[in-house]
Amino acid sequence: MAKKKKLRIINYVKDGVVMRSEVAPEPEKRVTTKWSEEEIKYLKDNFQKVTTRQLSEQLGRSWESVRGQLKRFKLTVGEELRKERQASRKGVPSGRVGVTKWTEEAINYLKEHHYTKPLPEICEHLNLKYGIVYKKMRALGLEVNPEITLKARREGIGKINAEKKAYFASEDFLAKKRNNQLKKRTNSIKERLMKRELSEIQKIQNEIKKSLKKIEKNDELINKLVLEKQNIRAEIKRSELRIKVITDKLNANFKKNGEA
């Protein structure tokens, strides 16, 4: 009796809804076709002339399939293309960044002139950077002539000093210097004027504060005087009322005495 296969319960998404199924969908079988003898022959005849991507396009095969056949037969793609590209380059940089391919001509020139010419001149002739040439010399075991290097340094320093002197004595530098001096003077004058104006403003503000304080004091005195005035008027009214009361009493007494 053959064993029955157990049904697997899986969840899958259909139209944005999570569905439940008891039978897993069978995976699609990958169709693989064997390489024919003609395809293998074409691969062996042309693997050095083109890249892997071009071979896959020409044969109608995937890149992985072509790569696997190349590994199977131990074939390296594009050797002739690399040789042509290297021959077309004159001595210098290769396709990779930071890597320099040295030609025999450049190496021979370096060996012939490393002790008779200064290193900067050799770099200019080879159109290479100083560090690249220096590393190559160390790799080849070549040494620099100390007298020539010292002479070149002195000449370079003398050139730089002469250029500096000529520049400092030129009309352009003198005109720039005058303009800078004028700018400094104008800026200093502006700063002084600004300081004076600010000091005057501060003085005026202080005077205003003093006058406001005086006004406050005078207002206090005025208020006191007004209160005193009101109090004196009230006292005068009270005294007038008392006088009236007294006079009324006297008049009343006189009338009584006259009647008697």
Instruction: Quick: pLDDT tens for 113-140.
Output: 878 888 888 888 888 888 888 888 888 8
Tokens of 243: 């006088």
Percentage, residues of the chain above pLDDT 70: 77
Query: How far lies 47's CA from each of 58, 78, 91, 250, in Å?
Result: 12, 6, 27, 153
How many H-runs (helices) and E-runs (strands) does the chain carry?
Answer: 9, 2
Residue 228 lies in a domain: no
Residue 60 lies in a domain: yes
Residue 223 lies in a domain: no
pLDDT score of 5: 54
Phi, psi for 93 (deg, rounded to 5): -65, 145
Tokens of 7: 């049904």
Scan for tokens 């008392």, then name that residue.
242
Q: How many CB atoms sit inside 10 A of residue 65's CB?
A: 17
Residues 103 and 147 in one domain: yes
Residues 69 and 109 in one domain: no
Residues 78 and 98 in one domain: no
pLDDT score of 60: 85
Q: Determine the average pLDDT of the residues in 27-36.
A: 67
Residues 100 and 139 in one domain: yes
Q: 119 and 144 in contact (C-beta within 8 Å)? A: yes
In sequence order, the β-bridge partners of residue 115 are none
Residue 188 lies in a domain: no
Tokens of 146: 């100390």
The band of 21, judged by pLDDT with boundaries at 50, 70 and 90, is: low
For residue 146, pLDDT beyond 50: yes
For residue 22, pLDDT beyond 80: no
Q: Which domain holds residue 57?
A: 37-83
Residues 113 and 148 in one domain: yes
Residue 196 lies in a domain: no
| DSSP structural state of residue 92 | S
- 173 vs 167: CA distance, rounded Å: 7
For residue 34, pLDDT beyond 80: yes
Residues 99 and 157 in one domain: yes
Tokens of 178: 């005058």
Residue 144 CA to chain centroid, in angstroms? 42
pLDDT score of 24: 46
Q: How many domains does the chain have?
A: 2
- 45 vs 75: CA distance, rounded Å: 11
Q: Which residue, of 83, 114, 143, is where some domain finishes?
A: 83
Q: What is the mean pLDDT of the chain?
A: 77
Higher-confidence position of 91 and 149: 149
Tokens of 165: 């002197």
Higher-confidence position of 257 and 146: 146
Residue 63 lies in a domain: yes
pLDDT per position as a tens digit, 171-199: 888 888 888 888 888 888 888 888 888 88
Q: Residue 257: which H helix or E strand, with range?
A: helix 171-259
Residue 61 lies in a domain: yes
Residue 217 CA to chain centroid, in angstroms? 61
Residue 46 lies in a domain: yes
Q: By C-alpha distance, which of 105, 76, 73, 77 is closest to 91?
A: 105
